Structure formats: C-alpha cells, structure tokens
Homo-oligomer: A and B are copies of this chain.
Amino acid sequence: MRETAEAKTASELTRARLLDAAREVFSQRGFQGATVREICRRAEANGAAVNYHFGSKDGLLAEALNFAPLAALQKANANESPRTRLRLFIRDFMLMLLDENNPSSQCRIMARELADPTPALDKIVREAIAPLHEFLGLLVREILDDSGGGKKVGAAEQRRCVYSILGQCLFYRHSHPVLQRLHHKLRYDHEEIVAIAEHIVEFSLAGIKHLSKK
C-alpha cells in the first residue's frame, strides 16, 4: 500500500505545490498580473496542470483562498477589553498584510483584489470582508459606549470609523509602490510593522473617543 499512498500524494503534492505557488504569485502580482505559466513554473509543474487540477485560473484562486486566519484574529482575545482587542487585532492584521514572511498570504491576496473585482470577489466579500466589518463595527460601538460621552453616535458614523481604521491599515499595502519611491529606505520589518500598528491604534482610539464626546 506504500505505492498507493505515494501515488495518491504524488498528485496531491503537485496540487499543494500549485496552491502554494499561486498564493505567492497572486499576493505579489495580483490576480490579473499573475500568469498561469509563472505559477506552474514556480510549482515545477506543467503548464496544463492548473486546468487539470483546478479547472481554470479562477478555480485556482477560489481554492487558494482561505479565510480561516482572518476569522481566527477576530475570535481571539475575547475576554479582553474592547480597546485591547482592537489593539491586538490591528497589530496581527498589519503583520498579515505587510510581513512577507507571514505564512498567511490570504490578506495580501484579498487586499490586492479590493479595487479590481474578480469573479471571486463576491465570495470574498461574503465570507471574509463582511464579517470583518461587522466585527470592527461591534468593537467600535463598544468603545464608543465605553467612552461615556453623552453624544449619541449614529450607525453611519460608526461605519465610517470602521472605514477609517481599515483605510489606515490598507494604505500601507495598497500604496506600497508609491511609498517605496517616496521613501527609499522603507522596509517593513517586524519592528516597523508593530510601530505602524501602534500608531493606527492610538490615532483611531482618539478619533473614536472624540466622536463620542463631541
């Protein structure tokens, strides 16, 4: 039965290699910019392998996506205070977004697709982004209530706070090519990412608190 297992995993190994290569290339070049040929080359597979194993480039993207790491971020630290949960979430989210060594390229793939709709975007929005927005919305609401300003903050403003937080986070990934040209010594090492996250937390908490007290 050793041959059976080996044969089975032989096919599954190329599948896995294709998925790994796809995640890498998609996160670096985006879905449009990535080519099936480059993915196959990196996976040391034949050019027809993608269509054989996944049907199409779209199918490969669909299987390459994995929303679990992002969802895990939201479930962690449930017993901490809202502010602490926001702080920890932003730190880990930024590490996913910016740290090339982070094993979860999912966020980097998704971030690239935000502006350029893909057949997979509907699924991404439904299964990853909508829950993320809801999670942050609840967190912002808790912090608003906690801040104890008498001001009643409406749903629209609460939503805009979520957008402000996500906008700050995504900016560093989205505008990376520009920031590199502006600031040649730029490099996202672990220390720098944590400092960025800390800035976003402080900046955002002040913004939220201000809204509740105005």
**A156-173 vs B: 1/0 string, CB under 8 Å?**
110111011011111110
Q: Residue A177 contacts which of B112, B115, B178, B210 (CB distance < 8 angstroms)?
A: B115
CA distance in complex: A35, B210 (Å): 46
User: Which residue in chain B gives the minimum CB-CB distance to A121?
Assistant: B177
Main SS of chain A's interface residues?
helix
* Contact call A170/B174, Cβ cutoff below 8 A: yes
Interchain CB contact under 8 A, A164 and B175:
no
Tell me, in angstroms, the Cα distance from A104 to B121 when the chains sit together: 29
What is the CA–CA distance of A181 and B130 in the complex, to the nearest angstrom?
9
Q: Establish whether residues B171 and A115, one from each chain, have CB atoms under 8 Å apart when the complex forms.
A: no
- Interface pair A115/B112, CB less than 8 Å apart: yes
Point out the residues of chain B lying under 8 angstroms from A166, CB to CB.
Answer: 171, 175
A204 touches B202 (CB 8 A): no
The listed residue with most B CB atoms (<10 A of its CB), out of A33, A121, A175, A204, is A175
User: A111-138 vs B: 1/0 string, CB under 8 Å?
Assistant: 0101111000110010001100100000
B164 touches A200 (CB 8 A): yes
A181 & B121 in contact (Cβ 8 Å cutoff) = yes
Pull 21 A–B residue pairs with CB atoms less than 8 Å apart, ordered by A.
A112-B115, A114-B178, A115-B176, A121-B177, A125-B181, A125-B182, A129-B182, A156-B195, A159-B183, A161-B203, A164-B168, A164-B171, A164-B203, A166-B175, A167-B170, A168-B168, A170-B171, A202-B210, A202-B214, A203-B211, A206-B209
